[in-house]
Amino acid sequence: MLKLEAQNLAKHFGTRKVFDNINISLEAGQSLAVVGPNGSGKTTLLKVIIGLVYPSRGDVTFSKNGRKLEFEQYRKYLSLVAPYFSLYDSLTAGENLRFFAKVSGHVIKRIEQHELLQQVGLEGRGDDFVSSYSTGMKQRLKYAVAMLKRPKILLVDEPGTNLDESGKEMAANLLNRLRDDSIIIIATNDKKEYALAGEFCQLGG
């Protein structure tokens, strides 16, 4: 059983306090919405949880069956969907999927690639360069890349960013499909997206 625990987390940039005294305890099958206005530290908290930003105080621990996991171990279970990273514009969507599958240690068959693209509403567009995609299509492709691992830990920053109504529905469906056996953390300030999670963590008052 995979478990995420964050204790007494705090992050300061110089004298500016971003967040303080955050405690999180999640097991597979539980989901958390990190909510708060712009600038309240939602993205910073996600980056601290992932292990890409050091907290000013406190610890984040991932464990499996009681055994603590290091970054290189829990990274294999983790996927991220966020507006602040990009996929490779000079590759096609299919090439992106095959590349990320391979470096993650998986071989993806053509049929699986087709299924993934179909799930995110990009069927028939796998041979198009990502540079020719709209921002909404790029966001859909990020969901497809995230789903490659069938992640046990999924972090989604602003799930509906750049997505139309059908895209938001697709994102909600994917999150619901993972909900039973994954840890899901959603950072959002959209009240509709609160409903995708079972627990809340309020930042910024």
What residue ranges bind other proteins (CB under 8 A)?
50-52, 54, 71-72, 75, 78-80, 82, 84-91, 95, 99-109, 112, 115-116, 145, 148-150
- Closest distance to other proteins from the beta carbon of 124 (Å): 19
Comparing CB distances to other proteins, the nearer of 33 and 146 is 146
Nearer to other proteins, 30 or 43 (CB): 43
Shortest gap between Cβ of 194 and other proteins (angstroms)? 25
- Residue 172's SS3 state is helix
Whether the Cβ atoms of residue 29 and residue 73 lie closer than 8 Å to each other:
no
CB of 119 to other proteins, least distance (A): 8
Residue 136 phi, psi (nearest 5): -65, -40
By the 8 A CB rule, do 57 and 8 touch?
yes
> Considering the complex, what minimum distance in angstroms separates the CB of residue 20 from other proteins?
22
17 backbone dihedrals φ, ψ, rounded to 5°: -85, 125
Nearer to other proteins, 14 or 111 (CB): 111
Q: Which of helix, strand or coil describes residue 168?
A: helix
As measured in angstroms, the least distance from the Cβ of 53 to other proteins is 9
- 93's tokens: 């969507």
19 versus 100: smaller Cβ distance to other proteins: 100
In sequence order, the 6+-apart residues with CB closer than 8 A to the CB of 138 are 86, 87, 130, 162
Q: How far is CA 196 from the centre of its chain?
A: 13
Half-sphere exposure for 107 (CA within 13 Å, toward CB): 1
Cβ-based nearer residue to other proteins, 128 or 204: 128
